[in-house]
Amino acid sequence: MTPPLSSSSNSPSNSNGAVTDSASCCSQGGSCGCPLRVVVPTTLRLVLGGLLMYSGWLKLGISSFGGTLPTSTPAAFAETIKKFDLPLVGDDVGIISILAFMIPWTELIIGVLMVLGLWTRAAALVATGLLVSFTVGLGMVMARGMEMSCSCFGSAKFLCGETVGACHLARNAALIAMGVMLVWKGSGALGLDRLLSRRRG
Amino acid sequence: MGSACEGGACGCRTSTGGLACVIKRSAAIVALSLAVALVHREMSPAISLEFKQGSGIKLPVTSTDQAGKAVDTPKSSQTSGVQTTPNNPSTSSNTSTPSTPVQTSSQSSTSSTPPMDSDGAKMLTTEQTKALYDQGLTQFVDARALTEFEKGHIPGSISLPAGDFTGDKIIATDGKVNMRLNRSMNVVVYCGGGDCSDSKLVAKELVARGFSMTAVYHDGWNGWSAAGHPKSSGAELPPGVPPMIDPPASAGGSQ
């Protein structure tokens, strides 16, 4: 069951010792480091994980690195959560204050795990769940005809404007697709998951 | 899902075990996040959501009111979110005097009604801010960068740049806030004016720290200076000088 060690960079060999190219490696279903199997999961991990880390860090406002990052605070994020007026949350200060700290920390932790390629599928599953819940919340705001700030990345903006709109839904849909891909594919050849599994034999 | 775990790519050895493994690890991640969040929450100032509901800042009575008399308006009849402040002993009904900071506005629905920003924060017009300034019992906070503050500011203001509420600066900022600002008095935060967001960020931070009588001066420094109101430049007043009392006379460099 254990896949062969990735050796694409050193001319992978088949069982007969013949050198194979990347395409044949992929066609044989091997996980020997063919470009798609390396590049796609790694790119997805770095992009989605990096975005989640960035988002969580901005919301926590721990450090703006000398003013280079437009950080916000959990208190400001709590205001946003309250304005969303979510079912089961409403204006309960206790729940909102927990969410205001927990959501950024969750984003930060799963972002780090994804970038490292450690527990990738679990982190991607949590990320997907988080993104789905965000999207549902945004959809509810739009359905009510409310005009309000997304605060998805604290006070920063990423691809979309500040006011919640279709762009935010499309962006989240793309991120959800990336999360689902990672749940399905795992960390890829360059993740710590793969490294650890090799050590276990 | 199970096939992706084949070969131990995610550390989950079998199809069924892989799924269970992923779910268990997901639960562990959520539990870890919750634990860290609870610790962080305990270490942080309590979150107050009163800001959205209208902060407790009290607007002064202007010349349009009855002969300058202070009027206490019942909460239910106040149209601009003006509220009494529980921790302020001078907010009891019918006790307002010209020297108290808690006079209420009965003309807030006039043409000078301040705009409300998208966050629901109380916003003050230049006229209202000047009235508070003239009353001499309001603490002004400049949320712009220190260099901008030193070029010019509302006399008696203290400098609390929005960036000072992040990272390692928070401890020093909290110390300054506790030393320089009085929670039982009005606080007006301003920045450059217009769409600048620093004043809103600082106001939220102050509300989260118990300054319930906080509002934002919408037009900010640009509106203040354009109106020809008093200005100061240079460093802020030392801690021993109350910033809100007789600001034009005591502020160094007043113009």
pLDDT in tens, B55-75: 445 555 444 333 333 333 333
∠ CA A130-B29-A181, nearest 5°, is: 55
CB pairs under 8 A between A and B: 155
State the Cα–Cα distance between residues B56 and B211, nearest whole angstrom: 9
The closest alpha carbon to A42, from A160, A165, A186, A196, belongs to A186
ipTM surpasses cut 0.85: no
Query: Helix or strand or coil: residue A113?
Result: helix
Q: What is the DSSP letter of A10?
A: G
Smallest Cβ–Cβ distance between B10 and the set A74, A104, A121 belongs to A121
| Higher-confidence position of B208 and A140 | A140
Using DSSP, state whether A48 is helix, strand or coil: helix
Helix A93-116 vs helix B15-43: crossing angle, to nearest 10: 130
**Residue A15 — very low, low, confident or very high, per pLDDT cuts 50/70/90?**
very low
What is the DSSP code string of B2-42? -GGGGGGTTS--SHHHHHHHHHHHHHHHHHHHHHHHHHHHH
B92 pLDDT more than 80: no
Residue numbers of A between 21 and 60 with CB closer than 8 Å to B: 31, 60
Residues B177-202 have a mean pLDDT of: 82
Nearest CA in chain A to B168: A63
Over chain A, what is the mean pLDDT?
78
Pairwise CB contact (< 8 Å): A109 & B29: yes
* Residue appearing with tokens 């200060």: A93
* CATH code, residues B66-250: 3.40.250.10
Interchain CB distance below 8 Å, A121 and B40? no
Percent with pLDDT over 70 in chain A: 79
- Locate tokens 């309590």: which residue? B46
Tokens read off for B22: 């992923």
pLDDT > 90? residue A110: yes
Please, which pLDDT band fits residue A201 given cuts at 50, 70 and 90?
low
- Six-digit token pair at B247? 């600001």
pLDDT in tens, A117-129: 999 999 999 999 9
Ranges of beta strands (E only) in chain A are none
Res B120 pLDDT > 90: no
Residue-by-residue DSSP string for A116-146: HTSSHHHHHHHHHHHHHHHHHHHHHHHHTT-
E strands within B32-126?
123-124
Q: Say yes or no: B42 contacts chain A, CB-CB below 8 A.
A: no
B166 CB neighbour count, 10 Å cutoff: 25
- CB of B255 within 8 A of CB of B232? yes
Q: Within 13 Å of residue A74, how many CA atoms lie on the same side as its CB?
A: 27
Ordered by start, the domain boundaries in chain B are 3-43, 66-250
Cα–Cα nearest to A106, from B27, B44, B18: B27
pLDDT at B145 over 50: yes
In the chain, the amino acid numbered A3 is P
Task: Tell which residue, A161, A132, A162, A164, has the closest CA to residue A145.
Answer: A164
Q: Are B181 and B243 in contact (CB under 8 A)?
A: no
Higher local confidence (pLDDT), B243 or A185: A185
